[in-house]
Structure 1
Amino acid sequence: MIAGTARLPDHPERLWPNPEPKRSYDVVIVGAGGHGLATAYHLAKEQGVRDVAVLEKGWLAGGNMARNTTIIRSNYLWDESARIYEHALELWEGLEEDLGYPILFSQRGVLNLAHSLQDVREGVRRVNANRLNGVDAEWLDPAGVKEVCPIIDVSADVRHPVLGATFQPRAGIAKHDYVAWGYARAAAATGVDLIQDCEVTGFLRDGDRITGVRTARGDIAAGRVGLAAAGHTSVLADTLGLRLPLQSHPLQALVSELLEPVHPTVVMSNAVHVYVSQAHKGELVLGAGIDSYNGYGQRGSFHVIERQMAAALELFPVFAGAHVLRTWAGVVDVSPDASPILGRTPFTGLYVNCGWGTGGFKATPAVGRCFAHTIAHDEPHPLNAPFGLERFFTGALVDEHGAAAVAH
């Protein structure tokens, strides 16, 4: 099913108040995207910390949360990654009931295509690793790929023939705006303040202890501060002389005009570098690889879009007559091992959640739970313990470049 029936949500302006910031909070979260909102929700719900503010320089969920392609999956290679993403997927499966709000979570499955013998070897390896970690995964031959997605071209005489694919049936997509609004509504109901138009420009500190934040609306004291500002987390950390091992890049995507339901799953390909799904309303959603240059502009290079559309037509000739409706870009923060950084910093009372690259949306529920635990207890949750900043000193990296070869 591509389009499901669900109660339409109320207008977002009615879902949470817009309070003035107080002068102090127990916890301040910087960034009101999915991760920041989910963290505040779990701080209140599970950790009993309700004196919380989430600060956003623009409008709530107006950054990467509104600029991603909403793919949700957990079929990562390494144990550490598979565990946190699988926990996220389990939470996704009950999130609508938990929040009491529709998120249009559609478990239509995700295909990762193989176009070479090396792709096949890597795909089979990942399927076996996934199964060992309790993640649903299958290896499909070309006929099986065609059965799951009838409109894909599996001809043998094309430039990039489909030799097979990994398939995760429980994977899928959700409506990103509804996810953000659901978390915001639930967090605000517990007493969390959601403060928009409140850019954080620096920190208050007492030696190596962070005591609050400086904002465009005045200083705000805080017992603890969590950074969840994606690519701009490193910019804020730089004001403390804390250099995070991150590079930020634009990541582009586009949508087509509305079409009849024809694309029943999510298809990803590293070789032709595109991933395609069909949204609930009917538009095709296409993602590309990251632009190679570093930057914070929410735009990208035309040649990336051009190659992205060419790649889509390699796989789906049926879309040759579709028209592009709009394009956009987010800002992704990429770490050296293509895995997130989630944990404490050398500054007492300061915690970071960053480095998710192109995989942040799918991790949202697990990030909220793990980051809330880390902030509340000043120690990592077992699921995010492998992703601490210290791994770049010890060398215990979690190298997921295979999973990040195409934006995901």
Structure 2
Amino acid sequence: MPLALLKYGLSSKHREDPHFRWAPELKKSYDVVIVGAGGHGLATAYYLAAHHGITNVCVLEKGYLAGGNTARNTTIVRANYLTPEGVAFYKESVELFRGLSLELDINIMYSERGHFTLAHTDAAMRTARWRAEVNKHLGVDSELIYPDDIARLCPTMNMSDEVRYPILGALYHPPGAIARHDAVAWGYARQAMRRGVEVHPQTEVTDVLIENGRAVGVETSRGTIHAGKVVQAVAGSSSLMARKAGFRLPIRTIPLQACVSEPVKPILDQIVVSGSLHVYISQSARGEMVMGGATDPYGLYSTRSTLDFKEGLMGHMLELFPFMAELRVLRQWAGMADMTPDFSPVMGLTPVENYYIDAGWGTWGFKATPVCGKRMAECVATGTQPGLLRPFALDRFDRFDLVGEKGAASVGH
């Protein structure tokens, strides 16, 4: 060990810098109150402080830090969407993810693997070709490839014709990546706190205070807090929270389940998705096979898991990757997906003045964490809808100007 490092470690002059700087008490008022301490809420708080100098910010969470959908997702990052609006939005998110470890001073374990969206039908091939052309037009690296290329790039996949759903081709997206979801949330939380933002877990928002059509604060399990502006970022509870603010959302909340296998040595470097089979898989840095499927077919505010999901998922997994037959499932869980009619999120201004919304993420909220935080902070700071968020405004449903992203859903809904 270098002598300088040993002297540093034994010295009493260097005080430990705590990872999180918790505020002991709530203040009576803040410039901005953010409801929801998941990745999106924490990212919004960080960018408000770092980019706009707004530090009198409070983030409220009814549970523990990033314990909702941020802790329950499968960590895939990609930009290969279908609509020009969606591609441009997620392209910026991928660019931000690539520099996030350096910006937040924490290793988010960002790993580009290559993302395959398999096509088993002629219709799926047409959609893959459509997506590839839109992606390339907007500068996103995606292309339609065929079985020979798939076999070369992903040799562990079963490319046999003697299966129920033969693989005809795939949309290949080389920048597709995975990252450590907890590290992303922890990094944003720590850097926001260092800039003066307060984060209060175990603090449930029970009501939104509205006066003359504008939000002025929130009622919590720890008392009343006044606020200049309020932001809701509560994932699957979006409709319930919006109702407290006095308006309705075109959102249906349904469970989305996933599971992981016991860890094994690295064997699957790629991210493999089949929209036709409603499954996706990648291998984590710890060696676990991370697998997910389609959303449940009914609305439910619950994070329970089911045997039916697991049985259906494994049938398709074993067809794609027969080597997994001997693996055991280590754990299984569910999140709550808030689905909009056009499968695109809702961000920005609402009918209530000074009340902002970040909702409708369905199955792809994690991959939007940096760009949503950055652009929502811009929206809150300026009081206007940023250009990148304009297509995802809530009033698009009144104008019938939808952003149809169902064709780019990695799991069928």
Do both share a fold (TM > 0.5)? Answer: yes
Partner Cα distance (2:245, 2:174) in 1: 44
In the alignment, what sits opposite 1:69? Answer: 74
Q: In the superposition, relative to structure 1, how do residues 368 and 240 fare at CA in structure 2: closer, same or farther (>3 Å)? A: closer
In the alignment, what sits opposite 2:188? Answer: 183
In the alignment, what sits opposite 1:78? Answer: 83
- Give the deviation of 1:30 after TM superposition: 0.5
- Give the deviation of 1:13 after TM superposition: 7.2
Partner Cα distance (1:150, 1:68) in 2: 26
Q: Which moved more, 1:253-262 or 1:397-406?
A: 397-406
Aligned: 1:397 with 2:402: yes
In the alignment, what sits opposite 1:24? Answer: 29
Aligned: 1:218 with 2:223: yes
Q: Which amino acid aligns with 2:400?
A: G
Aligned: 1:356 with 2:361: yes
1:321-343 CA distances to partner (integer Å, 9 max, x unpaired)? 10000000011100010000001
Q: Pick from 36, 39, 60 the counterpart of residue 34 of structure 1.
A: 39
- Give the deviation of 1:297 after TM superposition: 1.0
In the alignment, what sits opposite 2:335? Answer: 330
Q: Which moved more, 1:79-88 or 1:232-241?
A: 232-241
- Give the deviation of 1:196 after TM superposition: 0.4
Report the secondary structure of 1:268's partner residue: strand
Q: Which amino acid aligns with 2:73?
A: N
- Give the deviation of 1:241 after TM superposition: 3.1
- Give the deviation of 1:32 after TM superposition: 0.4
Partner Cα distance (1:388, 1:286) in 2: 32
In the alignment, what sits opposite 1:371? Answer: 376
Aligned: 1:46 with 2:51: yes
Partner Cα distance (1:375, 1:302) in 2: 43
Greater C-alpha Rg: 2
Q: Unaligned 5+ residue runs, structure 2?
A: 1-15
- Give the deviation of 1:404 after TM superposition: 2.0
- State how 1:3-402 maps to structure 2 within 5 Å: 14-402=19-407
- Give the deviation of 1:259 after TM superposition: 0.6
1:340-399 CA distances to partner (integer Å, 9 max, x unpaired)? 000111111101000010010001000001110111111111111110011001011001
Partner Cα distance (1:215, 1:233) in 2: 17
Contact 1:12–1:181 (Cα < 8 Å) also in 2: no
RMSD: 1.4
1:219-278 CA distances to partner (integer Å, 9 max, x unpaired)? 110000000001112101112331111010111000000111000110000122110000
Contact 2:210–2:245 (Cα < 8 Å) also in 1: no
Contact 2:60–2:204 (Cα < 8 Å) also in 1: yes
Partner Cα distance (2:72, 2:169) in 1: 30
- Give the deviation of 1:311 after TM superposition: 1.2
Partner Cα distance (1:22, 1:140) in 2: 57
Overall identity of the aligned pairs, in %: 47
Q: Unaligned 5+ residue runs, structure 1?
A: 1-10
- Give the deviation of 1:300 after TM superposition: 3.3
Partner Cα distance (1:102, 1:148) in 2: 27
Q: Which moved more, 1:307-316 or 1:277-286?
A: 307-316
Q: Which moved more, 1:215-224 or 1:148-157?
A: 148-157
Partner Cα distance (1:134, 1:213) in 2: 43
TM-score by length of structure 1 reads: 0.95
Contact 1:72–1:89 (Cα < 8 Å) also in 2: yes
Contact 2:305–2:332 (Cα < 8 Å) also in 1: no
Contact 1:19–1:194 (Cα < 8 Å) also in 2: no
Contact 1:252–1:287 (Cα < 8 Å) also in 2: yes
Partner Cα distance (1:322, 1:407) in 2: 25
- Give the deviation of 1:18 after TM superposition: 4.5
Aligned: 1:406 with 2:411: yes
Aligned residues: 398
Q: Which amino acid aligns with 2:221?
A: A
Contact 1:358–1:407 (Cα < 8 Å) also in 2: no
Q: In the superposition, relative to structure 1, how do residues 363 and 228 fare at CA in structure 2: closer, same or farther (>3 Å)? A: same
Q: Which amino acid aligns with 1:279?
A: S
Moved over 6 A (4+): none
- Give the deviation of 1:16 after TM superposition: 3.3
Q: Which amino acid aligns with 2:278?
A: H
